[in-house]
Structures are given as C-alpha cells and as structure tokens.
Structure 1
C-alpha cells in the first residue's frame, strides 16, 4: 500500500497562498486609508486556513497594500475556544470559529451539526450556509460577541473508515464502536452503534489496535491527512452523515468603522473565498479518492437506504434539537431555513 508523505490540505493551501503572494502588487484598484487587521486561528496553514490566506492576498492586491490582513497561527492571539471572547473585547479583527468548540455561545449555528441534513454537494453547502448566516437568530448569536459572519470554511461532509465487515445496511452499524462526535455520533447511537470519543491524533492507533471499529472525519482530506487508509479495510463513499460549521467571522466594531469601499471589496471577494475551498477540497478528493478506492472496499448506499438513514437517525435528532431550543430561540425557523436551502426551495 502506498504511503502518503504529505497532507494535501496544507500543501494545497500553502500553494494557493504562495502563488497569490508571488504576484507583484499592482496599483490599487480600491483606494482608501491604511488598515491593519489581525486574524486569529489555531494550528498551522492548512485547508481550513486557505480562505483567509486567499483573502489576505487579495485585499493587499486590490488596495495596493493599504488593507493588510495578517494571519496569526497556532493560538498566538487566542485559543480556538476563545476566539469569540477575543472579538468581544476587540483583541483582533477576524477569526475562524467552530460551533462545536462552544455550543452555548452560538446555539443557532449548532443546527449545522445535526445529522443527515440535505447537503449533497458544494453548491448546496454555499446555499445552506449563506441562508443560515442571514437568519436573524444566527446574526444575533454572533452580534452578542461583537462578531458578524463573513464566509464559511465549508467543512466537507463526514464519512467513515473502518475495519472488519463493511456496514452495508442500517442493521450492520448495530454494535460497532465508532469515533464520531456531535450530531453524527448521536445518529450512530440511533443505529445501535457505541459512540467513542478520542482526539484525532489517536484514531490511527485506535483502528490499528482494534479499539475502534470505525472513525469519522471530513472526507477525504482529513482521512488522508491522518493516513487512515493504511489501517482501514473499508470506507463509506456517500453516507454523508453530517458535518459541522466553522465560519470566518469579522469583528463588528472594526467592520463598521471601515469605509464603504472596503466593505464593498470584502463583499466582492467572498465568492472567491468560497471557490478556494471548493478547489482545496476538490484537490484532496482527486488525490485521495483513487487511493482509497484501490486499497479499500467502498461502501455506497442507494437513495432509498440513505432516506432510511435520515428517517431513523436524522429526523428524530432534528426534532429533539428543536424541542430543546425552541424556548430560547426560533429553533424550528432556523432548521427550516437550512432544510429549505438544502432542498432548493
């Protein structure tokens, strides 16, 4: 079995950024005052950071270097779970925040962690997340932290890799020990699986030693980055059990103080950020999917089976989420917004 020497996510993200930065800064297309913004993110340059890296390069390019967005990696400005706290005290001007790090801080965004939502492809991801970010409840959630949403990092749908007998039916998941968090983990419990929790760095060993039967990660880049194909025997190719949400957010005070031409520039660059993520994750699929398909058994489900998954392991959790949150905010309205956007209505 071939070994993957480098994680494609970091390589692609760095390549996109380096390519943009290698281009000479031209005369400003958008004139304005000097602006210096700090961007907070944990970890190193990788697929997740490809969007802000592209944004930083394009802001500098369009303004002749007057609008500088500097990315601080590795928790230099704030820990991952505290980026919203930093927003509230104006410690920096932009950040990536993940709903699962602080569910109580952005409860409406947790709708994106529900299992088996109708997000079938990247275009649907854009439609769903844009609609959610514009919902008054989601807007209010972020404004409490002096933040506004800018764009999504479009985490891909999760899929599973595992060992042993491939789970070809709903019943086959019964009794499997699965590493899955959030709504995906709850969905697997509905199918009779035993949910496990462990850091991402431990999943390779867990599969190798038989501690876990299956693990979920954003597909395909995270599976490849952790080289799970070396110790797995099968993977799900189209289960699409769920995802999470890690939007790029801007400090509201800083954004409001920008001149209109800079606000317009940010808005015009948002579609480019979306497309960067399409390319990054697409390149991961191009690299890893053929390797997975050659080395492992691919488990795919027909539309009727996927609908059954949704009925058994999705909708009951949707209803419970609405029931748990309806007294605090319009949870049904938030869920309906996501479902309508996902179904194209």
Structure 2
C-alpha cells in the first residue's frame, strides 16, 4: 500500500542509489530517526520518503535509519530524544509539545480554517517556514522544518450522532492538543489516550467518540467498525504539518549546503506527501460512504461557534505569549490575503464530469 516506486518521478531526481545496508555502509553520516509512529503511512511512507530524499540529495553521504515509536525513547517525547542526542533526527508531530507551549498548535494545525493547500502557501510563501525554524530553536533547542503535510481530518468517529453544539455537550471524546482544550470549552468531556487504545475504548463504551486523522489514516484503525457515525467536516484540524527535527550539535556540524539540502528534502516530501495522502484519502473516504456507517454533516451554526471560540482562545494566548502572538498574526494576515482566492479559483473537485 505504501510502496515508494513513484516518488522520484515527482521531483525529477535521476540518481538511483543502492538501498538498505549498502547505503548505510557507504554513508559518511549514519543517523538514527526517532518517531512517535508504531506503523502506518506516517512511518512506512512519509518518514521513509524523507529519508530517501536525504540519501538521494546527499549522494548517499547521509543515511537515516528509522525507528518506530518507543524504541529510542517515549513516543510522545521525541523532541527530548533529539535534543539529548539519542537520535540525530526525528519525524514528529509538533503538537505533542503543546503542554510546553501552545504555539505548537498553530504550527501543527488547529481549528483555524487553513486547508493543506493554504498551509503550504503560508509556510513557503507567507513566511511560515522561517518562523517555524526560529521558534523551534529558540524555545526547544532543536532545529526543525516541515517534512509532511496533514490532510483534513474526520471530525469524529462516534457512537453518538453529533450534528449541533447541543449534541456535543458531555460527549466523552478522545482527542489531544489544542482541540482538547477547545472541545472542553465547547462542552465535551475530553480524554487523552494513545492511538492504540482508541479502538477498544470505543468498542467498550469507555468513550463515545474519537478524532484521529484523515480518511486514509483512520481506515486501517478499524474505528468505523466500532462507531456507527462518521462526522464531517474536520474543522478541528482542517490541515497541518509533520516535522523533521535535527539535534542542534548535529546541525551545527553540517555545512551550509548540507543544511539547505535537508530543508529542501523536507519541502519535497511535503509536496510528495500531499500528492500521496490526498489521493489515498479519496478511496478511503469513498469506502466509508459505501459502507454501513452513517455520514453526518455538522450544522453550520456549530461550525461557526467552533471558529468563534477558536478566535477567543487565540486572542487569550496571544495576549500572554510573544511567540504565539507572532505566529497567529502572520497566519491571520495570510488569511486576509487569501480572501480573494474564491473570486477567481474554482473549488477543488467542483467541476462537473
């Protein structure tokens, strides 16, 4: 499902390198990559895609060995694993550091209304990537940059029908990060648990509902087997990024060309993961439509309330956190720029056949 036979075509790379241990033996630098992922597309496709890009762009001088979550340290504390030097690099979700600084939510993706396409525009043309790298180094003492895009998530797999704000009241919801805080403010009863525990919690009725990822990410979890309702759209996470972090000492020991190469590898894999995940989501969502689950669309008044509460939440943190204020101001300015987009661009998928 996650074979990599087409990834080089997208970027016009012509170098073909020997895979596996032969590359590692020939490499000048052999790096360990920590991840939170136990399996699935983020580990088997996205992290591997970045490692392949680095090998190709460095002419085999940097080889990255990818480790599943928990093998080099806590799966939810990957930043510490990289900062300490246990791993030279990571593939990570910045929002796992939300407890340290809520600014991470703005860079991971939250209920801000930025789609994956808008996020990429802001990141690479609107100054986001520079803010990202400066922020991570200033606050967390690691060098980081985006290296995968996140698609729009499913709002809920739920055993209770959720359509309105009233339906959301008291809902026992598995979530994490900023949405845990916002969902609580909107009346849900939130709980944070590892992804591997969600299926059984839904099946046994420990929780009513859960959010996890996009259709592609959710399909292999089997949530649709133990929760009748599929609630859309995923306004809580309309888009976002995964990151690659590099240990500061390791980064400072690289040449400027090598540093730029790593950034380029990240940018290329953002584009490639956008292609791969967007296409995979189509079939995964259609399977839900064709299956026994009921698709439920959120009432627009509930969506509006979510955005209103999000703005209040943003303003509160911006008033007390300088980094939060810098990032949210940049994103809001970008959204103002994007306001003309619907005037001349057709919505994706809107053309008749």
- Same-fold call, TM cutoff 0.5: yes
Aligned residue in 1 for 2:306: 309
The residue that corresponds to 2:121 in the other structure is 127
1:26-79 deviation per Cα after TM superposition (whole angstroms, max 9, x unaligned): 8xxxxxx93333322244453223333123223333444223222233433333
**Residue in 1 aligned with 2:201?**
206
The 1:109/1:115 distance shift into structure 2, 3 A limit, reads closer
Question: Which of 333, 336, 341 in structure 2 is aligned with 1:340?
Answer: 333
Whether 2:67 is the aligned partner of 1:72: answer yes
The 3-state SS of whatever aligns with 1:217 is: coil
Aligned pairs for 1:12-161 within 5 A:
12=2, 15-16=3-4, 24-25=16-17, 34-49=28-43, 50-103=45-98, 105-112=100-107, 115-120=110-115, 122-129=116-123, 131-135=127-131, 139-143=134-138, 145-158=140-153, 159-161=155-157
Residues 56/344 of structure 1: CA separation in 2 closer, same or farther (3 Å cut): same
CA shift digits 1:229-267 (9 cap, x unpaired): 112222122142137764211223323332343334334
Question: Of 280, 285, 309, which residue of structure 2 is paired with 1:284?
Answer: 280
Task: Measure, in 2, the Cα distance between the counterparts of 1:69 and 1:113.
Answer: 24
Contact 2:149 2:241 in 1 (8 A): yes
TM-score (norm 1): 0.78
Give the equivalent residue in structure 1 for 2:224: 229
Shift in alpha-carbon separation, 1:78–1:201, aligned structure 2, 3 A: closer
Q: Distance in 2 between the 1:89 and 1:154 partners?
A: 26
Aligned 8 A contact 1:167 1:173 in 2: yes
Contact 2:34 2:66 in 1 (8 A): yes
Q: Hey, what does 2:163 align to over in structure 1?
A: 168
Aligned partner of residue 149 in structure 2, secondary structure: coil
5+ long unaligned stretches in structure 2: 9-14, 19-26, 339-353
Q: Deviations over 1:138-191 (max 9, x none)?
A: 614424544212224333344201123x32222222232222222222332333
Aligned residues: 318
Indicate whether 1:261 and 2:253 are aligned: no
Distance in 2 of aligned mates of 1:206 and 1:79 = 22
Rounded Cα–Cα distance in structure 2 between residues aligned with 1:144 and 1:185: 23
4+ aligned runs moved over 6 Å, structure 1: 17-20
Q: Secondary structure at the match of 1:172?
A: helix
Paired with 1:273 and 1:113, the residues of 2 have a C-alpha distance of 16
In 2, Cα distance between the equivalents of 1:134 and 1:19?
Answer: 26
Q: CA RMSD in A?
A: 3.2
Give the corresponding residue for 1:219: 214
**Residue 104 of structure 1, CA deviation:** 5.0
Please state how far the C-alpha of 1:290 moved relative to its aligned partner.
1.1
Q: Does the CA contact (< 8 Å) of 1:237 and 1:298 recur in 2?
A: yes
Higher relative contact order (CA 8 A, sep 6+): 1
